[in-house]
Structure 1
Amino acid sequence: MTGHGYRAFLEEMLAPLGGVAIRRMFGGLGLFRDRLMFGLVVRDVLYFKVASDEAAAFAAEGGAPFSYATGGGRVTTIASYWRAPDRLSDDPEEFLAWARRACAAAEAAARARPPGRRKAGPVA
């Protein structure tokens, strides 16, 4: 599933959360809820925001933190976003549970930022 088809898939899977906005950014997609980014999609690969204590669960599923290639190698820029398990595509309830955890991680990260550094994402 690629491009527009993947976006439609995400819209359907995330609809029960309510208030989700999917925006184009950096050649991919950003997933927002309550103006907080909880996921990103790059080359049709879904990455969820992860609390530091949940990274092991993603690693156990074969996930890895978001990174990109440069001329000098590979750069991990957003270690708090991890590749979602592929199996979630086949289980809407499990997909939604992981998405809710990603939203909770985004909310916790926003609360932990100093007030002057808090940024709001796009309005849905």
Structure 2
Amino acid sequence: MAVDPDFLDHVRDLFSGLAPLRMGRMFSGVAVYTEDDVMFAMIAASGTIYMKTDATSQPAYLAAGATPFTYTKAASTQQITSLMSLPDTALDDPEEALSWARLSLPAARAAALEKRRTKARRRK
């Protein structure tokens, strides 16, 4: 199931303060990037927005009622705790959504840096 194009426009509006934004395919959803290759959010096919987290930012997401990204593989449920749902209160509030995005940026930048390093090692 693809992500609704109208919903993608809504997400662009929510995070427009981080412009420029770029969208790309990720699993059956869409990855949301800023700063060229910094993926700070993912939109699942279900329409749920998941934000990049780490040990520093995850407690704030949990306190706001966020849940980790989950998927089923070989009849078992897998959790990706580095992707937490955007709190419902931010879904229609660009200011709040932007605040959560900024909280996610350090984890997203660190993941992008590690990905760049891995690619550089493979090239050698």
Which amino acid in the other structure matches residue 12 of structure 2? Answer: E
Structure-1 residue corresponding to 2:91: 89
CA displacement 1:31-87 (0-9 Å, x = unmatched): 1112111110111000000121221111112212111023422012x3211111011
- Partner of residue 99, structure 1: 101
Offset of residue 21 of structure 1: 0.4
Aligned to 1:27: 28
Q: Is the 8 A contact 2:14 2:92 kept in 1?
A: no
**Which one of 51, 55, 58 corresponds to residue 54 of structure 2?**
51
How far did residue 11 of structure 1 move? 1.1
Counterpart of 2:78 (choices 56, 75, 79) is 75
Quick one: which amino acid aligns to residue 89 of structure 2? R
Number of the residue aligned with 1:122: none
Aligned-pair CA distance for 1:9: 0.1
Unaligned ranges ≥5, structure 2? none
Q: Does 1:108 align with 2:110?
A: yes
Report which structure shows greater RCO (CA 8 Å, sep ≥6): 1
Q: Distance in 2 between matches of 1:73 and 1:20?
A: 34
- Tell me the CA shift for residue 115 of structure 1: 6.4
**Separation of aligned partners in 2, 1:114 and 1:14:** 23
* Deviation, structure 1 residue 118: 5.2
Question: Are residues 29 and 114 of structure 1, via their aligned partners in 2, closer, same or farther at CA, if it must alter by over 3 Å?
Answer: closer
The question of whether the paired residues in 1 share the 8 Å contact of 2:57 and 2:103 is answered with no
TM-score (norm 2): 0.81
- 2: CA distance, partners of 1:118 / 1:12: 32
TM-superposed deviation, 1:22 = 1.2
CA contact 2:13–2:94 (8 Å) conserved in 1: no
Q: TM-score, normalised by structure 1?
A: 0.81
